Amino acid sequence: MPQNRKEASIVLRSCGWSEEVYSFMHARKKLCQEAASDTAPNDHETKNLLISHAKRNFLSKVPESLKAGLIERLRLFSQGSSHLELDKRSKMADELVLLDCLVSMFGMRVRIALAEKGIKYEYREEDLDNKSTLLLETNPVHKKVPVLIHNGKPICESRIIVEYIDEVWKDKSPLMPSDPYQRAQARFWADFVEKGEELEAAKKDLIDALEILEGELGDKPYFNGDTFGFSDLAFITFYSWFHTYEMCANFSIEKHCPKLIKWAKRCMERESVSKSLVDPITVYEEILMLKKKYGY
Ligand SMILES: N[C@@H](CCC(=O)N[C@@H](CS)C(=O)NCC(=O)O)C(=O)O
């Protein structure tokens, strides 16, 4: 339990709860002390006092998506459930919201991972020119999509989100190899792909990066080996963008990297991928529109 208000505020923020929740906890503690009890008060009057304190002081400031879960948590909390019990319960409930943008190759990674695991979630499209308060609140450092909000707790950065999903829902379709060395390799190639994206502007560097990936893939069906996994997932979302790269830089990826194209088509046979990837023409049209809008 955090020792002071500042510490509590850091902890609460890091797990997605706002500082105001702390003030509620504080009020509850005070009421418990007044009632000379170290367990939560269970009588009607105190419970109502706590709820009205919450309503008066912070509930109006809580984002809509978190409100229902929070009210339920407050109700159970004021009835005497401990935070530990409530954390366990909320794990069972699994409320998932994905803040995303349709053509985002990073967002598509998360969508594939959720589809691989067969997890239901609420998709929320963000307007990146006019970001929602929820996005700014849940990813205050980068202010970027995707953000996955799991039972009110935000997770940012696509690869971190995918690893999180793989760890939490580990029973179905593992994405990370179980062997630590293979895991390190998967992370290495996912990281390499990320750097490739930064090279997007320089055609020669992009082709060099793709050729390295072609060499690494070799004759394997997937980057992981025989099964679709983390590095495949990190890279395949670029496939939606291949057409745009080709059109903008005037070259053929297939001519340079035929094995990569075969691999991409193999990945597209998976429903989780084909349903999550955005049509390449849509991506290209979106980019043309942005180019026109911002004049580059
Ligand atoms: N490294 C991040 C990159 C995320 C990213 O660049 N998201 C873009 C959309 S594709 C974004 O939100 N851009 C908004 C901005 O830069 O303000 C990840 O893997 O999640």
Look up the CATH number of the domain holding residue 126: 3.40.30.10
Residue 24 CA to ligand 1 centre (angstroms): 34
173 in a structural domain: no
Q: Is 144 in the pocket of ligand 1 (CB under 6 A)?
A: yes
> Is the CB of residue 190 below 6 angstroms from any atom belonging to ligand 1?
no
pLDDT, tens digit, 9 for 90 and up, residues 118-137: 999 999 999 999 999 999 99
Does the beta carbon of 157 sit less than 6 angstroms from any atom of ligand 1?
yes
Kindly tell me the sign of the dihedral angle through the C-alpha atoms of 182, 185, 191, 196.
negative
- Is the minimum distance from the CB of 101 to ligand 1 under 6 angstroms? yes
With a cut of 70, say whether residue 176 has pLDDT above it: yes
Interstrand relation of 153-156 and 122-125 (parallel, antiparallel or unpaired): unpaired
Q: Do residues 147 and 200 both lie within one domain?
A: no
> 145, 235, 287: which to mutate for ligand 1, most atoms within 8 A of CB?
145
Residue 226 lies in a domain: yes
- The verdict on residue 175 lying in a domain is no
Does the pTM surpass 0.85? The reply is no
DSSP codes joined into one string, 78-116: HTT--HHHHHHHHHHH--EEEEE-TT-HHHHHHHHHHHH
pLDDT tens across 202-243, in order?
Answer: 778 888 889 999 999 999 999 989 999 999 999 999 999 999
Give nearest CA residue, ligand 1 atom 6. Answer: 144
49-89 pLDDT per residue, tens: 666 666 666 566 555 545 566 666 666 666 666 655 655 56
| Count of domains for the chain | 3
- Cβ–ligand 1 distance for 197 under 6 Å, the answer no
- Which of residues 69, 92, 115 is at a domain's end? 92
Tell which of 64, 92, 120 closes a domain: 92
Q: Which of 111, 136, 142 to mutate to test the pocket of ligand 1 (most atoms within 8 A of CB)?
A: 142
Cβ of 104 closer than 6 Å to ligand 1, yes or no, is yes
Q: With contact defined as beta carbons under 8 Å apart, do 248 and 200 qualify? A: no
Determine the structural domain holding residue 104 and report its residue range.
96-168
One-letter amino acid at 284 equals Y
Domain boundary among 43, 74, 92: 92
